[in-house]
Amino acid sequence: MKAPRPPDGPETLAGRLTRTLILWVGGVWMLCVLAVVWYVDREINHNFDNELVEVSHRMFDMALQELGKLQHPGATPDTPMIAPKQLFSEDAVMYQVVDIHEHVLLRSAEAPTDAFDVPLAAGFANNQTWRIYTVRHPAQGLYFQVADPLDERRSALNRTLFGLIIPLGAVLPLLALVLRKVARNELRVLQQLAGEIEKRSGSDLRPITLPGLPRELRSVGDHVNSLLERLSHSLDVERALAANAAHELRTPLAAARLRLQTALEHDLQRNDVQAALDALQMLSHRTEKLLQLSRAESAASLARARVDLVQLAGAVAQDFWNDPQISERLALKVPDDAAPLASGDVDALAIALRNLVENALRYGGSGRVVIEVMAPCTLAVRDFGAGVSAGQLATLQQRHVRHSSDRAGYGLGLSIVSTIVEKHNAKLELASPPPGAASGFEARIVLRPA
């Protein structure tokens, strides 16, 4: 049975990395080979030239002695005289002796007639087949030319380069296999990271733990863990909102349904309709509190800015002063010097302060309620009603704990305040009675200065 063919898809990162490494390493390898060719060619020619110079100086006198033996005194031959053949013909030196009139006086027996077809001047010169070195006698008007075949140099260069390039070329396939294996091994940890991320779901938001991650991937893992933590927190907030809504809205919904059903059964009596409206108002109030609590717990939209606490307290107080029944009861006290500045979210702090004022107005009886801004960075709300006992004071911040027959609050107000204060890394201090008072209740939000 044939194995299923993997689906066609984008090229793997390991494949791209392997190809890129091979191209770059191959390019560098090629540049190195060209540099080696240039260097070897230079060194071989340099060595051959040195040898040619050395041979020319050593054989100049020998050639003059041979010329003296063959030349008759006072006679100038029309054709070049040929020196005797050298002992080792395969290593024979091609040379000739020329006078200043470019008459060839003596030529080695092995030298071709066209080997020295270059201008007569001291130094090196090339023709198609030979490299010639010419030296002039310091006292006599004679030149000595030595020729070296270029084929020997090319042959030496080719032998040297073949000895180097063939092994280096044979290593290239092995190098490609090594690069491919290295790329796959180094990227295996990335596949493991992808596998761990793939395992996470809405029910499994555990942090990713992969020991030995390189620095770049460790940063990716940290960011993924931070994202998973935020997702987990968002899910917790969503679950808490659902649980709170199920707990808080069940009673007012049942009451509204019962009142409306009673009103229908009694031909829409005014008292029954009013009771249904009160139940719906309670439902609206609790829904608003739940949304405030959910926003405070999520902390996703909380900003960090400089908040003028005097302006904040004034804005909250103004909302309540618009109600004629409350305006006479609520007072605002601010410091005489500079207004305290806190670091936080002005909307969230306004919600917290508004909840404290609502609680004070509701549970403080008909007495006076004071909002006070205190240095260095504190908001206080106090009433002078009956206050709470020490046992109630310890459980005030617990959600869904009833402390009064008035069922409008159900403890959500202080829970909202406590959550907002916690998100601001601030402190919520409760006291009953307030310092210096005989009765009542005080809540202080101690913020961090901006």
DSSP character for 402? Answer: -
pLDDT in tens, 295-330: 777 665 677 789 999 999 999 999 999 888 888 899
What's the pLDDT score for residue 320?
A: 92
Which helix or strand (DSSP H or E) is residue 22 part of? helix 13-70
- The residue behind tokens 């898809």 is 9
pLDDT in tens, 80-128: 888 888 767 667 788 999 988 888 888 888 888 778 888 888 899 988 8
The Cα–Cα gap between 73 and 50 comes to 35
CB count within 10 Å of CB 413 equals 26
Whole-number Cα distances in Å, 70 to 93, 98, 246, 283:
19, 15, 130, 136
Helices within 204-266 (DSSP H only): 215-248, 250-265
What's the pLDDT score for residue 378?
A: 94
What's the pLDDT score for residue 408?
A: 43
Which helix or strand (DSSP H or E) is residue 291 part of? helix 270-298
Backbone φ and ψ of 428, nearest 5°: -115, 115
The Cα–Cα gap between 425 and 261 comes to 48
User: Which residues does residue 373 pair with via DSSP β-bridges, in sequence order?
Assistant: 379
What's the pLDDT score for residue 400?
A: 56
Does residue 434 have a cis peptide bond before it, meaning omega lies within 30 degrees of 0?
no
13-22 CB contacts, 8 Å cutoff, 24+ apart: 13/187, 13/190, 14/180, 14/183, 14/184, 14/187, 17/183, 17/187, 18/176, 18/179, 18/180, 18/183, 18/184, 21/179, 21/183, 22/175, 22/176, 22/179
- Give CA 153 to chain center in angstroms: 56
DSSP percent split of the chain into helix, strand, coil, nearest 5 = 55, 15, 30
CA angle 347, 349, 355 (to 5 degrees): 105
Sequence-separated (6 or more) residues with CB below 8 Å from residue 293:
240, 241, 244, 412, 415, 416, 419
What is the DSSP pairing of strand 81-82 with strand 104-107? parallel
The residues of the chain scoring below 70 in pLDDT are: 1-10, 72-77, 87, 89-90, 246, 268, 298-301, 397-411
What's the pLDDT score for residue 404?
A: 54
